[in-house]
Amino acid sequence: MDLTSLPERAKKTEKESKLFFKAIKKNRLRDLDDTIHAIHEEVFDEIDCLACANCCRSLGPRITDRDIEKMASALRIKPHEVVERYLRIDEDKDYVFKEMPCPFICHDNYCSIYEDRPKACREYPHTDRKKFFQIQALTIRNAATCPAVFEILERLKREF
């Protein structure tokens, strides 16, 4: 999928996606979880994140104190040095990277601290999460960044 057209395509389908989630009845929420998790597996069998890495280039994850400790250990520096070198506090009073793309993304889209990457990175794009319905608005927003999320939403709408 062409990343340059992804935000526009996601915007075009945003209203349809919102209506889709609004239409799902509460008694179908369990079906939603089962279905989206299956679609998640299918799509990620087809899509190579390393060919894209758009999330690493454009989304600044929330960094927790635990993340800072793990990153410091991986980098063999003190936690306060991680904060000084790589992080800032955003408008929500959360730590985020000072700059994007992520300072740990390599030229080949691999993450230099992959095993110790922040929790938000490990869990992204959240389409395999339990109680998926609770994050449907986030998923609609993520469709503008992640081709896999866009495809998952499109397949989910066809399935239901």
Q: Which two tokens stand for residue 2?
A: 């062409």
β partners of residue 87: 97
φ, ψ for residue 38 (rounded to 5)? -65, -45
pLDDT tens for the 160 residues of the chain, in order:
678 899 999 999 999 999 999 888 776 877 899 999 999 999 999 999 999 999 999 999 999 999 999 999 999 999 999 999 999 999 999 999 999 999 999 999 999 999 999 999 999 999 999 999 999 999 999 999 999 999 999 999 998 8
31 with 140: CB under 8 angstroms?
no
